[in-house]
Chains A and B, each alone.
Chain A
Amino acid sequence: MRYIELFISFLKLGSLAFGGAYGAIPLFREEVLSHGWLTDSMFTNIVAISESTPGPIMLNIATYIGAERGGILGVILATLGVILPSYIIILLVTINFKSILNKSSVQSILKGMKQCIMGLMLATGLFIGFQTFFGNIKYIQVDVAAIAILAIVSICLLVAKKKFKKELSPIIIILICAALGGLLY
Protein backbone atom coordinates (compact mmCIF):
# COMPACT_ATOMS: atom_id res chain seq x y z
CA MET A 1 0.00 0.00 0.00
CA ARG A 2 2.82 2.33 0.95
CA TYR A 3 4.49 1.64 -2.37
CA ILE A 4 1.35 2.28 -4.39
CA GLU A 5 0.83 5.55 -2.52
CA LEU A 6 4.40 6.56 -3.28
CA PHE A 7 4.11 5.70 -6.95
CA ILE A 8 0.80 7.51 -7.43
CA SER A 9 2.07 10.61 -5.63
CA PHE A 10 5.08 10.85 -7.87
CA LEU A 11 3.09 10.09 -10.99
CA LYS A 12 0.90 13.06 -10.10
CA LEU A 13 3.95 15.25 -9.50
CA GLY A 14 5.56 14.14 -12.76
CA SER A 15 2.47 15.09 -14.73
CA LEU A 16 2.02 18.49 -13.09
CA ALA A 17 5.58 19.71 -12.72
CA PHE A 18 5.67 22.43 -15.35
CA GLY A 19 8.40 25.03 -15.29
CA GLY A 20 11.43 22.93 -14.51
CA ALA A 21 12.84 21.95 -11.16
CA TYR A 22 12.01 25.19 -9.39
CA GLY A 23 8.43 24.95 -10.52
CA ALA A 24 8.31 21.41 -9.17
CA ILE A 25 9.65 22.22 -5.70
CA PRO A 26 6.40 23.80 -4.39
CA LEU A 27 4.41 20.78 -5.57
CA PHE A 28 6.87 18.29 -4.09
CA ARG A 29 6.89 20.19 -0.83
CA GLU A 30 3.14 20.17 -0.53
CA GLU A 31 2.90 16.47 -1.35
CA VAL A 32 5.62 15.47 1.09
CA LEU A 33 4.27 17.60 3.93
CA SER A 34 0.67 16.55 3.44
CA HIS A 35 1.67 12.88 3.65
CA GLY A 36 3.88 13.64 6.61
CA TRP A 37 6.82 11.98 4.87
CA LEU A 38 9.35 14.61 5.88
CA THR A 39 9.53 17.71 8.04
CA ASP A 40 9.75 21.09 6.39
CA SER A 41 13.39 21.67 7.30
CA MET A 42 14.38 18.17 6.18
CA PHE A 43 12.72 18.85 2.83
CA THR A 44 14.74 22.04 2.43
CA ASN A 45 17.90 20.06 3.21
CA ILE A 46 17.02 17.54 0.54
CA VAL A 47 16.44 20.29 -2.00
CA ALA A 48 19.93 21.55 -1.15
CA ILE A 49 21.43 18.10 -1.68
CA SER A 50 19.55 17.65 -4.93
CA GLU A 51 20.90 20.95 -6.19
CA SER A 52 24.46 20.13 -5.34
CA THR A 53 24.57 16.63 -6.75
CA PRO A 54 24.52 15.93 -10.50
CA GLY A 55 21.41 15.01 -12.41
CA PRO A 56 17.95 16.55 -12.77
CA ILE A 57 16.91 18.18 -9.47
CA MET A 58 13.36 16.87 -9.67
CA LEU A 59 14.60 13.31 -9.99
CA ASN A 60 17.05 13.71 -7.15
CA ILE A 61 14.31 14.86 -4.80
CA ALA A 62 12.13 11.96 -5.90
CA THR A 63 14.98 9.48 -5.43
CA TYR A 64 15.71 10.71 -1.92
CA ILE A 65 12.10 10.57 -0.81
CA GLY A 66 11.71 7.15 -2.42
CA ALA A 67 14.79 5.86 -0.60
CA GLU A 68 13.56 7.30 2.68
CA ARG A 69 10.13 5.74 2.29
CA GLY A 70 10.90 2.38 0.80
CA GLY A 71 14.55 1.59 0.12
CA ILE A 72 15.53 0.51 -3.35
CA LEU A 73 12.01 -0.37 -4.42
CA GLY A 74 10.93 3.07 -3.23
CA VAL A 75 13.66 4.68 -5.34
CA ILE A 76 12.57 2.77 -8.41
CA LEU A 77 8.88 3.58 -7.96
CA ALA A 78 9.40 7.26 -7.19
CA THR A 79 11.75 7.70 -10.15
CA LEU A 80 9.44 5.84 -12.50
CA GLY A 81 6.49 7.91 -11.34
CA VAL A 82 8.28 11.17 -12.01
CA ILE A 83 9.67 10.31 -15.43
CA LEU A 84 6.80 8.29 -16.85
CA PRO A 85 4.55 11.24 -17.79
CA SER A 86 7.28 13.16 -19.63
CA TYR A 87 8.56 9.96 -21.21
CA ILE A 88 5.13 9.16 -22.61
CA ILE A 89 4.52 12.74 -23.72
CA ILE A 90 7.77 12.84 -25.70
CA LEU A 91 7.01 9.50 -27.32
CA LEU A 92 3.62 10.87 -28.37
CA VAL A 93 5.24 14.07 -29.62
CA THR A 94 7.66 12.11 -31.78
CA ILE A 95 4.75 10.16 -33.21
CA ASN A 96 3.39 13.43 -34.49
CA PHE A 97 1.44 14.65 -31.59
CA LYS A 98 2.93 18.12 -32.03
CA SER A 99 -0.17 19.52 -33.68
CA ILE A 100 -2.21 18.99 -30.52
CA LEU A 101 0.32 20.80 -28.36
CA ASN A 102 0.33 23.60 -30.90
CA LYS A 103 -3.40 24.16 -30.78
CA SER A 104 -4.12 27.59 -29.40
CA SER A 105 -6.74 26.31 -26.96
CA VAL A 106 -4.24 23.84 -25.48
CA GLN A 107 -1.62 26.55 -25.35
CA SER A 108 -3.92 28.92 -23.46
CA ILE A 109 -4.74 26.27 -20.88
CA LEU A 110 -1.03 25.49 -20.42
CA LYS A 111 -0.27 29.18 -20.16
CA GLY A 112 -2.76 29.64 -17.33
CA MET A 113 -1.36 26.60 -15.52
CA LYS A 114 2.22 27.76 -15.92
CA GLN A 115 1.47 31.22 -14.60
CA CYS A 116 -0.25 29.69 -11.63
CA ILE A 117 2.93 27.71 -10.94
CA MET A 118 4.97 30.92 -11.09
CA GLY A 119 2.79 32.25 -8.27
CA LEU A 120 3.37 29.01 -6.35
CA MET A 121 7.12 29.31 -6.83
CA LEU A 122 7.17 32.85 -5.51
CA ALA A 123 5.03 31.85 -2.54
CA THR A 124 7.25 28.87 -1.71
CA GLY A 125 10.49 30.81 -2.08
CA LEU A 126 9.28 33.64 0.12
CA PHE A 127 7.72 31.29 2.65
CA ILE A 128 10.95 29.33 3.06
CA GLY A 129 12.56 32.75 3.57
CA PHE A 130 9.95 33.70 6.16
CA GLN A 131 10.54 30.48 8.07
CA THR A 132 14.28 30.90 7.93
CA PHE A 133 14.28 34.52 9.06
CA PHE A 134 11.33 34.62 11.47
CA GLY A 135 10.46 31.02 12.35
CA ASN A 136 6.85 30.21 13.11
CA ILE A 137 4.09 32.83 12.77
CA LYS A 138 2.77 31.98 16.24
CA TYR A 139 6.18 32.45 17.75
CA ILE A 140 8.14 34.96 15.73
CA GLN A 141 11.84 34.98 16.42
CA VAL A 142 14.17 37.00 14.25
CA ASP A 143 17.17 34.98 13.10
CA VAL A 144 19.95 37.56 12.84
CA ALA A 145 22.50 35.12 11.44
CA ALA A 146 20.17 34.16 8.58
CA ILE A 147 19.57 37.82 7.74
CA ALA A 148 23.32 38.42 7.79
CA ILE A 149 23.80 35.50 5.38
CA LEU A 150 21.12 36.92 3.09
CA ALA A 151 22.82 40.32 3.13
CA ILE A 152 26.26 38.89 2.36
CA VAL A 153 25.00 36.65 -0.44
CA SER A 154 22.98 39.50 -1.95
CA ILE A 155 26.13 41.63 -2.03
CA CYS A 156 28.03 38.76 -3.69
CA LEU A 157 25.25 38.38 -6.28
CA LEU A 158 25.23 42.11 -7.01
CA VAL A 159 29.00 42.33 -7.30
CA ALA A 160 29.11 39.30 -9.61
CA LYS A 161 26.43 40.82 -11.79
CA LYS A 162 27.81 44.36 -11.94
CA LYS A 163 31.53 43.65 -12.01
CA PHE A 164 31.81 40.40 -13.90
CA LYS A 165 28.44 40.37 -15.71
CA LYS A 166 27.99 36.87 -14.44
CA GLU A 167 25.35 35.11 -12.42
CA LEU A 168 26.58 32.91 -9.63
CA SER A 169 25.73 29.26 -10.20
CA PRO A 170 23.37 27.62 -7.69
CA ILE A 171 26.18 25.44 -6.38
CA ILE A 172 28.34 28.45 -5.54
CA ILE A 173 25.43 30.16 -3.78
CA ILE A 174 24.80 27.00 -1.77
CA LEU A 175 28.48 26.67 -0.85
CA ILE A 176 28.72 30.30 0.28
CA CYS A 177 25.61 29.91 2.42
CA ALA A 178 26.86 26.62 3.87
CA ALA A 179 30.19 28.18 4.84
CA LEU A 180 28.50 31.22 6.37
CA GLY A 181 26.03 28.99 8.20
CA GLY A 182 28.88 26.99 9.71
CA LEU A 183 30.61 30.20 10.79
CA LEU A 184 27.73 32.33 12.05
CA TYR A 185 25.49 29.93 13.95
Chain B
Amino acid sequence: MNKSKHILWDLFYTFFKIGAFTFGGGYAMISLLDRECVENKNWITSDELMNITVIAESTPGPIAINCATYTGYKLKGLFGSIIATFGMILPSSIIIFLISMFFENILSNSIIRNAFKGISVAICILITQAAIKMITKSMKNSRKKLLPIVFIVPSFLIVFSCNLFAIHFSTIYLIFFCGFIGYFVYGKKVNKSNGGIK
Protein backbone atom coordinates (compact mmCIF):
# COMPACT_ATOMS: atom_id res chain seq x y z
CA MET B 1 0.00 0.00 0.00
CA ASN B 2 1.53 3.34 -0.92
CA LYS B 3 1.70 6.17 1.55
CA SER B 4 -0.93 8.41 0.05
CA LYS B 5 -3.53 5.68 0.13
CA HIS B 6 -2.50 4.91 3.67
CA ILE B 7 -3.22 8.46 4.85
CA LEU B 8 -6.59 8.47 3.15
CA TRP B 9 -7.50 5.22 4.86
CA ASP B 10 -6.25 6.60 8.16
CA LEU B 11 -8.35 9.75 7.71
CA PHE B 12 -11.42 7.71 6.94
CA TYR B 13 -10.87 5.32 9.83
CA THR B 14 -10.13 8.03 12.40
CA PHE B 15 -13.17 10.12 11.55
CA PHE B 16 -15.31 7.00 11.34
CA LYS B 17 -14.25 6.24 14.90
CA ILE B 18 -14.99 9.79 16.07
CA GLY B 19 -18.38 9.67 14.38
CA ALA B 20 -19.18 6.34 15.97
CA PHE B 21 -18.23 7.18 19.52
CA THR B 22 -19.27 10.75 20.24
CA PHE B 23 -22.58 11.04 21.93
CA GLY B 24 -24.22 14.38 22.49
CA GLY B 25 -22.77 16.05 19.42
CA GLY B 26 -21.22 19.50 19.19
CA TYR B 27 -18.94 20.38 22.01
CA ALA B 28 -18.74 16.84 23.32
CA MET B 29 -16.94 16.10 20.10
CA ILE B 30 -14.18 18.64 20.54
CA SER B 31 -12.40 16.68 23.25
CA LEU B 32 -12.32 13.56 21.10
CA LEU B 33 -11.18 15.53 18.07
CA ASP B 34 -8.44 17.00 20.22
CA ARG B 35 -7.25 13.59 21.36
CA GLU B 36 -7.35 11.98 17.93
CA CYS B 37 -6.35 14.71 15.48
CA VAL B 38 -4.08 16.81 17.67
CA GLU B 39 -2.45 14.46 20.18
CA ASN B 40 -2.44 11.05 18.51
CA LYS B 41 -2.00 11.88 14.85
CA ASN B 42 -0.50 15.38 14.91
CA TRP B 43 -2.62 16.24 11.91
CA ILE B 44 -3.56 19.69 13.17
CA THR B 45 -2.36 21.88 16.05
CA SER B 46 -4.59 22.68 18.99
CA ASP B 47 -4.54 26.29 17.81
CA GLU B 48 -6.02 25.20 14.51
CA LEU B 49 -8.68 23.23 16.34
CA MET B 50 -9.57 26.34 18.35
CA ASN B 51 -9.82 28.36 15.16
CA ILE B 52 -12.11 25.78 13.62
CA THR B 53 -14.30 25.97 16.72
CA VAL B 54 -14.54 29.75 16.43
CA ILE B 55 -15.29 29.54 12.72
CA ALA B 56 -17.87 26.86 13.41
CA GLU B 57 -19.55 29.19 15.85
CA SER B 58 -20.03 31.88 13.26
CA THR B 59 -20.97 29.59 10.40
CA PRO B 60 -23.94 27.25 10.14
CA GLY B 61 -23.79 23.48 10.24
CA PRO B 62 -22.48 20.77 12.55
CA ILE B 63 -19.09 21.57 14.06
CA ALA B 64 -17.80 18.04 13.56
CA ILE B 65 -18.25 18.41 9.82
CA ASN B 66 -16.23 21.63 9.91
CA CYS B 67 -13.36 19.87 11.62
CA ALA B 68 -13.41 16.81 9.39
CA THR B 69 -13.46 18.98 6.29
CA TYR B 70 -10.60 21.16 7.48
CA THR B 71 -8.36 18.28 8.55
CA GLY B 72 -9.05 16.25 5.42
CA TYR B 73 -8.37 19.21 3.18
CA LYS B 74 -5.16 20.07 4.96
CA LEU B 75 -3.79 16.55 4.63
CA LYS B 76 -4.99 15.46 1.23
CA GLY B 77 -6.79 18.32 -0.50
CA LEU B 78 -10.30 18.10 -1.84
CA PHE B 79 -10.39 14.31 -1.93
CA GLY B 80 -9.13 14.13 1.64
CA SER B 81 -11.87 16.47 2.81
CA ILE B 82 -14.51 14.32 1.16
CA ILE B 83 -13.10 11.11 2.66
CA ALA B 84 -12.87 12.56 6.18
CA THR B 85 -16.39 14.03 6.08
CA PHE B 86 -17.76 10.79 4.67
CA GLY B 87 -16.08 8.78 7.41
CA MET B 88 -17.52 11.11 10.01
CA ILE B 89 -21.14 10.80 8.89
CA LEU B 90 -21.19 7.11 7.94
CA PRO B 91 -21.63 5.50 11.39
CA SER B 92 -24.52 7.66 12.53
CA SER B 93 -26.21 7.41 9.14
CA ILE B 94 -26.18 3.62 9.32
CA ILE B 95 -27.38 3.55 12.93
CA ILE B 96 -30.20 6.04 12.36
CA PHE B 97 -31.25 4.34 9.15
CA LEU B 98 -31.59 1.02 10.96
CA ILE B 99 -33.51 2.63 13.81
CA SER B 100 -35.86 4.38 11.41
CA MET B 101 -36.87 1.02 9.96
CA PHE B 102 -38.03 -0.35 13.29
CA PHE B 103 -38.98 2.70 15.30
CA GLU B 104 -42.70 2.75 14.62
CA ASN B 105 -42.91 -0.93 15.55
CA ILE B 106 -40.99 -0.31 18.73
CA LEU B 107 -43.32 2.57 19.59
CA SER B 108 -46.35 0.28 19.53
CA ASN B 109 -45.07 -1.17 22.80
CA SER B 110 -46.86 0.78 25.52
CA ILE B 111 -43.95 0.90 27.98
CA ILE B 112 -41.65 2.31 25.33
CA ARG B 113 -44.30 4.78 24.25
CA ASN B 114 -44.56 5.98 27.83
CA ALA B 115 -40.80 6.21 28.11
CA PHE B 116 -40.79 8.49 25.08
CA LYS B 117 -43.53 10.58 26.67
CA GLY B 118 -41.17 11.07 29.61
CA ILE B 119 -38.34 11.89 27.23
CA SER B 120 -40.20 14.89 25.83
CA VAL B 121 -39.67 16.46 29.27
CA ALA B 122 -35.94 15.86 28.80
CA ILE B 123 -35.98 17.47 25.36
CA CYS B 124 -37.76 20.51 26.78
CA ILE B 125 -35.14 20.79 29.54
CA LEU B 126 -32.19 20.32 27.18
CA ILE B 127 -33.28 22.89 24.61
CA THR B 128 -34.30 25.47 27.21
CA GLN B 129 -31.06 24.92 29.12
CA ALA B 130 -28.97 25.38 25.97
CA ALA B 131 -30.90 28.53 25.07
CA ILE B 132 -30.42 30.06 28.52
CA LYS B 133 -26.71 29.25 28.44
CA MET B 134 -26.24 30.89 25.06
CA ILE B 135 -28.28 33.93 26.04
CA THR B 136 -26.35 34.56 29.26
CA LYS B 137 -23.06 34.10 27.40
CA SER B 138 -24.01 36.54 24.68
CA MET B 139 -25.16 39.09 27.25
CA LYS B 140 -21.88 38.75 29.12
CA ASN B 141 -19.87 39.19 25.93
CA SER B 142 -21.84 42.15 24.71
CA ARG B 143 -20.54 45.57 25.58
CA LYS B 144 -24.01 46.85 26.30
CA LYS B 145 -25.34 44.03 28.43
CA LEU B 146 -28.98 44.45 27.50
CA LEU B 147 -28.56 44.85 23.75
CA PRO B 148 -29.04 41.14 22.86
CA ILE B 149 -32.50 41.37 24.45
CA VAL B 150 -33.56 43.58 21.54
CA PHE B 151 -33.22 40.51 19.31
CA ILE B 152 -33.98 37.68 21.69
CA VAL B 153 -37.21 38.83 23.31
CA PRO B 154 -39.15 39.78 20.15
CA SER B 155 -38.11 36.62 18.32
CA PHE B 156 -39.04 34.57 21.36
CA LEU B 157 -42.48 36.19 21.63
CA ILE B 158 -43.24 35.93 17.91
CA VAL B 159 -42.24 32.29 17.58
CA PHE B 160 -43.79 31.18 20.85
CA SER B 161 -47.17 32.75 20.12
CA CYS B 162 -47.15 31.47 16.52
CA ASN B 163 -46.53 27.99 17.88
CA LEU B 164 -49.18 28.36 20.55
CA PHE B 165 -51.93 29.49 18.21
CA ALA B 166 -50.76 27.25 15.36
CA ILE B 167 -50.11 30.20 13.06
CA HIS B 168 -47.84 29.29 10.21
CA PHE B 169 -44.86 31.60 10.03
CA SER B 170 -41.52 31.08 8.37
CA THR B 171 -38.75 31.94 10.81
CA ILE B 172 -36.24 32.29 7.99
CA TYR B 173 -37.50 35.81 7.30
CA LEU B 174 -37.18 36.61 10.98
CA ILE B 175 -33.56 35.40 11.00
CA PHE B 176 -32.67 37.48 7.97
CA PHE B 177 -34.48 40.47 9.39
CA CYS B 178 -32.49 40.19 12.63
CA GLY B 179 -29.30 39.98 10.58
CA PHE B 180 -30.33 43.18 8.81
CA ILE B 181 -31.08 44.95 12.11
CA GLY B 182 -27.85 43.55 13.57
CA TYR B 183 -25.90 45.33 10.86
CA PHE B 184 -27.18 48.67 12.14
CA VAL B 185 -27.31 47.93 15.85
CA TYR B 186 -23.90 46.34 16.20
CA GLY B 187 -22.39 48.40 13.40
CA LYS B 188 -18.68 48.63 13.89
CA LYS B 189 -18.74 47.93 17.58
CA VAL B 190 -18.27 44.18 17.25
CA ASN B 191 -16.91 42.64 20.39
CA LYS B 192 -13.60 40.93 19.69
CA SER B 193 -14.03 38.19 22.23
CA ASN B 194 -17.20 37.04 20.55
CA GLY B 195 -16.42 37.22 16.90
CA GLY B 196 -12.78 37.65 16.01
CA ILE B 197 -11.05 34.82 14.16
CA LYS B 198 -7.32 34.69 14.47
Secondary structure dominating the interface of A? helix
Contact with B118, one of A18, A47, A104, A149 (Cβ below 8 angstroms): A149
Interface residues of A in 106-140 (CB under 8 A from B): 107-132, 137
A173 at the interface (CB under 8 A from B): yes
Question: Cβ of B123: which chain A residues have Cβ within 8 Å of it?
Answer: 44, 47-48, 51, 128, 174
Contact (A14, B60) CB under 8 Å given A48-B119, A54-B21: yes
A6 on the interface (CB 8 Å rule)?
no
Tell which of A17, A25, A157 touches B61, judged by Cβ atoms closer than 8 Å. A17
Instruction: Evaluate contact between B152 and A119: CB separation under 8 angstroms.
Output: yes
Q: Is the CB of A111 within 8 A of B194?
A: yes
The answer to whether A101 and B59 touch across the interface, beta carbons within 8 angstroms, is: yes
A19–B126 contact, CB under 8 A? no
Number of chain B residues close to chain A: CB under 8 A: 105
Is B20 engaged at the interface, CB distance under 8 Å to the other chain? yes
Q: Does A86 contact B (CB under 8 A)?
A: yes
Distance, CA A153 to CA B120, complexed state (A): 12
A56 touches B81 (CB 8 A): no
**With A83-B85, A85-B60: A63-B93 Cβ-Cβ less than 8 Å:** yes
Any A CB within 8 A of the CB of B107: yes
Q: What 9 pairs between A and B have smallest CB-CB spacing?
A: A112-B182, A181-B118, A55-B92, A86-B61, A119-B155, A125-B128, A125-B127, A116-B178, A108-B186
